[in-house]
Amino acid sequence: WDITNAVSRTLEDAQSGVEEMLFEPVIRLGVTGLSRAGKTVFITSLVANLLDRGRMPQLRAAAEGRILTAFLQPQPNDAVARFAFEDHLAALTGPEPYWPEGTRSISQLRLSLRVRPSGMLSGLRGPRTIHLDIVDYPGEWLLDLPLLEQSYGNWAAETIALARTDSRIEHARPWLDVLDTADGAAVLDEREAQRQAEAFRGYLRTAREAGLSAVAPGRFLMPGDLEGSPALTFAPLPEPVKSRGNSLHATFARRFDAYKRIVVKPFYRDHFAKIDRQIVLVDALGAINAGPQAVEDLRQAMAAILMSFRPGRNSWLSSVLGRRVEKILFAATKADHLHHSQHAALAAITEELLDDARRRADFRGAKTEAMSIAALRATIEETVRHDGAALDCVRGRLLDGGREVAMYAGDLPKDPGALLVPARQGAAKWLDAEYGIMKFAPPRVALAPDEGPPHIRLDRATEFLIGDRLA
């Protein structure tokens, strides 16, 4: 049965592949990043700016006037939620704009572009339709890849050990107290199972709220439609001396395997494996603002996330990856919190933050780049005098209360090591620098023409990601 299934699937894939190449090419763009990195705002702004052109000068096809029309279409995948573009756009552009609800699960949107070819072929070929399938999914889900190689026993031991480290113990204590009362050898009692799972999830949530990023299993914080299912009702337990088949420990071990089988693998096989281009959004500024431990934690989480893009040769993942991700863009988001004179420093920090993973990886030949962007500019730039010196600030409307203020987030070092080295060494605070970020509301009116485009480098990001396919 399996083989027939596999063969018919391969045939189907091949067929749709040929159709795509001949007639209407499809670009599958994955958008990911940890919660609150800016995925929802990014996709909404990208689609709005492609639908309503003229504000993307760095996207060549747009600047050359070759995108004739852009329109939304029903996506081809009936089994995935549609990205709620209209709702999100209404939130951001209404008379009292507000930030939309962020990504909680996977969703998809198809934007189709009628594009006139460039260069020599333009006279020979008429315009053609190119479909951009945007796939939005939580970066937390990519933290699950290492679980595939782990047994329940290994995972539990590692997770408990990590919770006892300095940066985590404070958040983990309530869960560890509940864990201390667990009896893994006892016969399963579903209420006790829920109590353990809930306490464990509470720890992950508090750690996340404190700015820590490495919080697997990914679905515990981003459950999608699996909330409350047995596959999400387990937690780490130490190995009991003796364990029977119906014990709490044995049940959790089975559920851990079920989680891998029905949650992790289908996501990779059905969605991740089909992506051609990927943007990974990183709220580096948010982590810098939260302090060195958050930066170090973000670095580790990003290293874990990036493993999915360079799986080991003989791993399960490489066996299901059909097509290759051709380009990966790492984008530090919310750059509108900084004056442009600091944007290069933010991009450099982001690049260095990912460097460990990048250095070791060839990403299976994918082209990579790092930049700092703002999908939606909530500020304008302003230089104010402070203690006799000129200070390059940004001005925006505060999310809390709506007052207009000028903000100076702090001076990011030109050398990223000045932040990343103390973070690695476990510093509790930044030594001689202070960073503070205020939360701005989305802009109330479209920016005036002389105030620049309503985004920062969204067009350059788009050019890197899909520009070659629009040529």
Q: Examine residue 85 and tell whether it contacts ligand GDP (CB under 6 A).
A: no
> For ligand GDP, which residue of 49, 278, 293, 333 counts as binding (CB under 6 A)?
333
x/- string (CB under 6 A) for ligand GDP, residues 18-37? ---------------x-xxx
- DSSP lists the bridge partners of residue 73 as 110
Q: Which is nearer to ligand GDP, 50 or 321 (CB)?
A: 50
Q: Which is nearer to ligand GDP, 329 or 376 (CB)?
A: 376
Q: Which is nearer to ligand GDP, 28 or 39 (CB)?
A: 39
Q: Which is nearer to ligand GDP, 39 or 299 (CB)?
A: 39
Using CB under 6 A, which of the segments 121-129, 146-154, 375-383, 461-469 binds ligand GDP? 375-383
CB of 10 to ligand GDP, least distance (A): 34
CB of 220 to ligand GDP, least distance (A): 16
> For ligand GDP, which residue of 374, 407, 409, 420 counts as binding (CB under 6 A)?
374
Amino acid at 160: I
Q: Which is nearer to ligand GDP, 235 or 281 (CB)?
A: 281
Q: Which is nearer to ligand GDP, 169 or 344 (CB)?
A: 344
> For ligand GDP, which residue of 375, 407, 461, 466 counts as binding (CB under 6 A)?
375
Taking CB atoms, the residue at the shortest distance from ligand GDP is: 102
Q: Examine residue 41 and tell whether it contacts ligand GDP (CB under 6 A).
A: yes
CB of 457 to ligand GDP, least distance (A): 11
Using CB under 6 A, which of the segments 194-202, 356-364, 368-376, 460-468 binds ligand GDP? 368-376
Q: Which is nearer to ligand GDP, 103 or 289 (CB)?
A: 103
Q: Examine residue 376 and tell whether it contacts ligand GDP (CB under 6 A).
A: yes
Q: Examine residue 40 and tell whether it contacts ligand GDP (CB under 6 A).
A: yes
Q: Examine residue 107 and tell whether it contacts ligand GDP (CB under 6 A).
A: no
Q: Looking at the chain, how many residues does it have?
A: 471
> For ligand GDP, which residue of 276, 296, 336, 351 counts as binding (CB under 6 A)?
336
Q: Examine residue 49 and tell whether it contacts ligand GDP (CB under 6 A).
A: no
Subset of 431-450 contacting ligand GDP (CB under 6 A): 439-440
Residues within the interface to ligand GDP (CB under 6 A): 33, 35-41, 99, 102-103, 333-334, 336, 374-376, 378, 439-440
